[in-house]
């Protein structure tokens, strides 16, 4: 999962992207984040969702309930072991990770991430 640098790279590499393409990229990033959120329900609590239960282009996943077994750092390392980009740790809430899927992630990659995240919660 990428960071906001991907968006800056997108704008630099595609200077003719135009507002419609940027808007579409934003929509896909939000869609991808909410897809992962839906897949992770039941395994993790997602903090700071809107009134309708959705998240924006990123989500803050509460790892504090797992502290006795593994901290946020341990889960982040496990995700890195599976080949995913390191999530943001403990920002803006200590004991959490921030997941930010990019607009270019395929459904297969989103599913792989969700499956590995479920496995990390169980182990």
Mind listing the pLDDT tens digit for each residue in 82-102? 999 889 999 999 999 999 998
The H or E element that residue 7 is part of is: helix 5-13
26-35 burial: b if 16+ Cβ within 10 Å, else e? eebbbebbbb
pLDDT-based confidence at 7, cuts 50/70/90?
low
Q: Is the pLDDT of residue 48 over 90?
A: yes
The pTM for the full model equals: 0.80
Q: Among 44-48, 78-82, 117-121, which stretch is predicted with the lowest mean pLDDT?
A: 117-121
The helix/strand/coil state of 16 is coil
Q: What percent of the chain has pLDDT over 90?
A: 55
Separation between Cα atoms, residue 31 and residue 41, nearest integer Å = 16
Q: Is the pLDDT of residue 75 over 70?
A: yes
Contacts of 120 (CB under 8 A, 6+ apart): 70, 75, 78, 79
Find out whether 69 and 3 touch, Cβ atoms under 8 Å. Answer: no
Instruction: Tell me which DSSP letter residue 96 carries.
Output: E
Separation between Cα atoms, residue 79 and residue 109, nearest integer Å = 13
Picking from 49, 57, 50, the residue whose alpha carbon sits closest to that of residue 101 is: 57
Q: Is the pLDDT of residue 3 over 60?
A: no
Give the pLDDT mean for 32-49. Answer: 94
């Amino acid at each position: 999962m990428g960071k906001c640098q991907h968006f800056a790279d997108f704008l630099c590499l595609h200077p003719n992207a135009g507002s419609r393409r940027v808007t579409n990229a934003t929509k896909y990033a939000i869609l991808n984040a909410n897809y992962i959120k839906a897949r992770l329900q039941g395994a993790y609590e997602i903090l700071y969702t809107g009134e309708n239960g959705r998240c924006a282009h990123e989500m803050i996943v509460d790892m504090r309930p797992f502290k006795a077994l593994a901290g946020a750092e341990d889960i982040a390392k496990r995700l890195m072991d599976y080949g995913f980009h390191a999530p943001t740790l403990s920002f803006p809430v200590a004991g959490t990770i921030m997941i930010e899927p990019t607009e270019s992630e395929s459904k297969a990659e989103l599913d792989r991430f969700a499956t590995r995240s479920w496995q990390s919660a169980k182990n």
